Chain A
Amino acid sequence: MTAARALRERPPGQGQPWPWLLPAVAVLALFYAIPVLDVVRLAFSDATLIAPATGLSLDAMRAILGDPALRKVLATTAIFVAVNVVALQLAGLSIALLIVRGERRGLKGMAAFRTLVLAAWVVPGIANGLIWGLLFDEAPYGTLNSLLGYAGLGPVAWLSDPRMALVSAVIANLWQGTAFSMIVFYAARRGIPPVLYEVAELDAAGPWRTFRSITLPLMRRAIAVNSVLVSVQTLNTFDSILALTGGGPGRATEVLALFTFNTVFYNLDLAGGAVLALLLFAAGMTLTLLIGWIGRDRGAS
């Protein structure tokens, strides 16, 4: 009888969710919502890291937005993010499809290869920058330059030439970041019903035709969502660049996140840094809203 009543009072799947959600919601408020509001407030103030705000002011915002360096930083950030988004996804997609094909054909070494790509993923960003710094070392005994020397090429000014430094930063990021896209695309590709490929085979469709007519259309949503995730991740990347080039030479590799970090923690310009942090936040959130929009698209079709 009591058991029956217990069941009636609290049937499965019923109950108050809020006590359960309290810790998570409190953390969201304390560590995300309130800090973001505080960033907005600081952006309209004249606070520095050592002196509190004395009142509302637009001076900091005007100063930082008028800083000629910002234009350069934003251009670098746009290039860095755009190139990475394309390169990371092409690499991730190719590897995922190669692995799926290899698994289907029973090729050896697929698991080992996947492990290798994943191993690069868990290397700390700072270590990533330091390791690639050793590889890009421009001394005659540096890895890549001494290898190129054997082929009669180089030496390449990997880190001292402003354009090359950005390419080097992209290569280092590609090494570490490919694994994420690989996992997403591997999951999406495995989610496509095999029967579709059997039909394609019966129709004697070639590999390229099969890729264009089945794989690509059915992975479109995964590619769209992943583009956004990878853009935001790349936008927020800065520790590997800090360790690789420090943003140099000059400002050649100083992306928005690194510029924000330098403004707050080296120049101690809190108000200016808050404006930059707000830019970073707005860019990230705009991209995130894109995900929501893409996700809704699925419900409609």
Chain B
Amino acid sequence: MSAARWGDVASYALFALLAAFFLLPFAWLGSLAIRTPAEVYLGAARFVPEAPTLDNFGAVLSDRAFLTYLWNGLKLSACGGALALALAIPAAYACSRIPFRGQGAVLVGLLAVQMISPLVILVPLYRWMSTLDLLNLDLSVIAVYGAIGMPLAVWLLKVTFDAIPVELEEAAQIDGASRWMILGRIVLPLARSGLASAFVLTMVMNWSQFLVPFILLERDQDWPISVAIFNFAGSVSASTTQLLAAACLIAVLPAVLVFVALQRMIVTALISGAVKG
């Protein structure tokens, strides 16, 4: 066998090892979620339960509150992603098309604020919102999501806009179109996949967000799923492990499925952003 073939064998051996590590948590979660309480105590002895049951999912989803948490999570992350995009589009367009002094500073500033932990800014934001009576409002959470997601969106969209030939816009300009019209009619339609990538990425980030809703939303019925499972985990015991597993799986699955379905597009956007950045 040639050296390259031996290399392939070694590669596959390494892949198998790594895949086992990355797969184990998902597989175990799935296994626990379809067990009866008695089978939870069998540990790894019976990875696929003798009588797989969907009762755990039924039990979790029949709780009306749980559906509310899922809906809250979806609502907050989608609106937050949309807001981040709305804030980012004009800035990304200016950074891509209008040369101006301080452009580098704006882009570096956007990169720098991404390094600030939401924890740092939430300390004062919580106080202001508390004073202004803005706690427990979806809008407050959405506004913070917009602010947290905007910098990444500007970077991704700038790279997308840079890739669109400027000649198309020049032609429209000669026809007397304003910049806003050009943006809306020509640039944005051509930037569809970049816009979609930025939206999905910010939305997935928001779905994972725990700190912001945990601090700004005090009422249980307003919580998104990420806060709800944390709270739920505090109330489970050994005999309800299978329910926690089912709840975790339900919380994780939407983000993973959306991301996996769209990963080719998103990874391409991230890679071109990484190369430019």
On A, residues with C-beta under 8 Å from B are 2-3, 6-7, 10, 12-17, 19-25, 27-28, 30-32, 34-36, 38-39, 42, 49, 94-95, 98, 101-102, 105, 107, 109, 113-120, 122-127, 130-135, 137, 139-143, 145-147, 149-150, 175, 183-184, 186-188, 190-191, 207, 232, 235-236, 238-239, 242-243, 257, 260-261, 264-265, 270, 273-274, 277-278, 280-281, 284-285, 287-288, 291-292
Contacts and interface: CB of A to CB of B under 8 A. Distances in A.
Given A98-B15, A175-B22, A115 B110 contact: no
A12 B123 contact: no
Contact of A115 (B170, B229, B260): B260
B181 to A, nearest CB: 12
Interface of B: 4, 7-8, 11-12, 14-15, 18-19, 21-26, 28-29, 32, 40-45, 86-88, 90-91, 93-94, 97-100, 103, 106, 108-113, 115-117, 119-121, 123-127, 143-144, 146-148, 150, 154, 166, 169-170, 173-176, 179, 204, 207-211, 215, 226-227, 229-230, 233, 238, 241, 244-245, 248, 251-252, 255-256, 259-260, 263, 267, 270-271, 274-275
A135 B100 CA distance: 53
A207 B113 CA distance: 40
Given A24-B88, A36-B120, A264-B123, A115 B263 contact: yes
A175 B87 contact: no
A131 B154 contact: no
Grouping DSSP codes into helix (H, G, I), strand (E, B) and loop, the B interface class, with mixed when no group exceeds half, is: helix
A95 B18 contact: yes
Given A113-B18, A281-B116, A31 B144 contact: yes
Contact of A3 (B4, B166, B176, B208): B176
B14 A127 contact: no
30 contacts: A13-B99, A19-B90, A20-B93, A21-B106, A24-B88, A24-B150, A31-B125, A31-B147, A35-B123, A38-B127, A39-B121, A39-B124, A94-B14, A101-B11, A102-B11, A116-B19, A118-B267, A120-B22, A122-B204, A122-B255, A123-B208, A124-B252, A124-B255, A141-B41, A145-B43, A146-B43, A183-B270, A260-B119, A284-B117, A285-B115
Contacts of B271: 183, 186-187, 190
A21 B204 contact: no
A98 B14 contact: yes
Given A120-B22, A127-B251, 5 more contacts: A105-B7, A139-B238, A141-B40, A147-B44, A187-B270
